[in-house]
Amino acid sequence: MKIAISLLTALFAATVQAATPADLLATYRNEAAQQAAGFQPSAQRGAEFFARRFTVAAKMPACSSCHTDNPAQPGRHVVTDKVIKPLAPAANTERFTDLAKADKWFRRNCTEVVGRECSAAEKADFVAYLTGVR
């Protein structure tokens, strides 16, 4: 009985953690709107952010360094050489379905590529762009 309850609890917790890219976009939009009233995510700004070259790391100057110019395609980490699943949710249904995981990777990747944590507005724009990539 205890095992069954534990399994049901774990299943329920996993279901509660599940989200959609639209849910994450709304979360980041709301955070950004608290900092700048009327903020609306922009896929165009997200595309520009994705393509922008930063000067923090020579090996990773842009998101596309690892994720390729087409985020619907698999990438490869330039340091570890590990394959990276596509970044676009249309090509990888696991993307942006867990807020904690998305925040973890934003924190890590923004720090390495941009040189700081990304703002809620940047995250919202980025997710808005990637949800439109097919």
Q: Residue 2: which pLDDT band, with cuts at 50, 70 and 90?
A: low
Which pLDDT does position 10 carry in this prediction?
44
> Is residue 46, in this structure, part of any structural domain at all?
yes
126 and 47 Cβ atoms separated by less than 8 Å: no
Residue type, 36: A
**What confidence tens digit (pLDDT) does each residue in 49-108 have?**
999 999 999 999 999 999 999 999 999 999 999 999 999 999 999 999 999 999 999 999
Both tokens of residue 37?
A: 């009233």
SS3 84: strand
In angstroms, rounded to a whole number, what is the distance separating the alpha carbons of residues 47 and 131? 11
The CATH number of the domain holding residue 66 is: 1.10.760.10
Range of lowest pLDDT (7-16, 17-26, 34-43, 79-88): 7-16
61 and 55 Cβ atoms separated by less than 8 Å: yes
- Report how many domains make up the chain: 1
pTM of the model: 0.85
> Is residue 11, in this structure, part of any structural domain at all?
no
> Is residue 39, in this structure, part of any structural domain at all?
yes
In angstroms, rounded to a whole number, what is the distance separating the alpha carbons of residues 56 and 108? 13
By residue range, what is the domain housing residue 46? Answer: 19-132
